[in-house]
Amino acid sequence: MSAKASTAARIAEEAAAAPLCAVFRRHLRSVRLKYTPERAGVLDAIIERDGLFEVEELLNDLRDRRLRISKATVYRTLRLLQDAGIIMPAQIDARQSHYQLVYGRAPRDQMVCVRTGRVIEFTDPEIRTLRDRICRRAGWAPVTHRLQIFGVSPEDAGAEPPAS
């Protein structure tokens, strides 16, 4: 990806990110809950992470920002954000819990290197087209999808398999 394309993508994402807190607020109101500083803090940290993140990272980020938000609250907020359709579990790895920001952006697909575990995110419009075609044939209404391609990246082709 060129620097130019990446910059354009970032600007587009920042524009999309702006209303996220509004989306969250709207959802909370609809279920009669409040938009508290803790909840806002968690969402902000997620937006900063831009895409894929782990709970552990989020907790660190919040700690770094001197926001003292308990683990319990973070987990509770993650569930609310899921309900709001803002994030979804990414499930890269069974042990660690990864989530990804999904609201207002095309689903990010992942290529995972089976040698090193390295994850590269990408979006391919053809996947979406194919997904919608498959759904149409089956009579389903598509909502989103998750695609993980496992393979060996050229950089890691000589690497040892991970310790696991």
Partner DNA sequence: GTGCGTGCAAAGACTTTGCACGTAC
Partner DNA sequence: GTACGTGCAAAGTCTTTGCACGCAC
Footprint of DNA (CB under 7 A): 28, 32-34, 36-39, 55-56, 68-73, 75-79, 94-97
Q: Which two tokens stand for residue 150?
A: 């496992």
| CA distances for 59 relative to 34, 73, 91, 100, angstroms | 21, 10, 18, 15
Q: Distance between CA 133 and CA 58 in Å, rounded?
A: 36
Tell the smallest beta-carbon distance from residue 97 to DNA (Å). Answer: 3
Query: With CB cut-offs between 5 and 8 Å by kind, which of its own copies, DNA, none does residue 23 bind?
Result: none
Tell the smallest beta-carbon distance from residue 112 to DNA (Å). Answer: 17
Report whether 101 contacts 143 (CB < 8 A). no
Tell the smallest beta-carbon distance from residue 50 to its own copies (Å). Answer: 21
Check residue 139 for interaction with its own copies (CB under 8 A).
yes
Tell the smallest beta-carbon distance from residue 31 to its own copies (Å). Answer: 12
How far from the centroid of its chain's Cα atoms is residue 90's Cα? 7
Residue 151: which of 117, 112, 116, 109 has the closest Cα?
112
Report whether 151 contacts 113 (CB < 8 A). yes
**CB-wise, 10 or 68, nearer to DNA?**
68
Query: With CB cut-offs between 5 and 8 Å by kind, which of its own copies, DNA, none does residue 153 bind?
Result: its own copies
**CB-wise, 73 or 116, nearer to DNA?**
73
Q: Distance between CA 27 and CA 97 in Å, rounded?
A: 23
The residues binding its own copies (CB under 8 A) are 89, 91, 94, 97, 111, 113-114, 120, 122, 124, 126-127, 130-131, 134-135, 138-154, 157
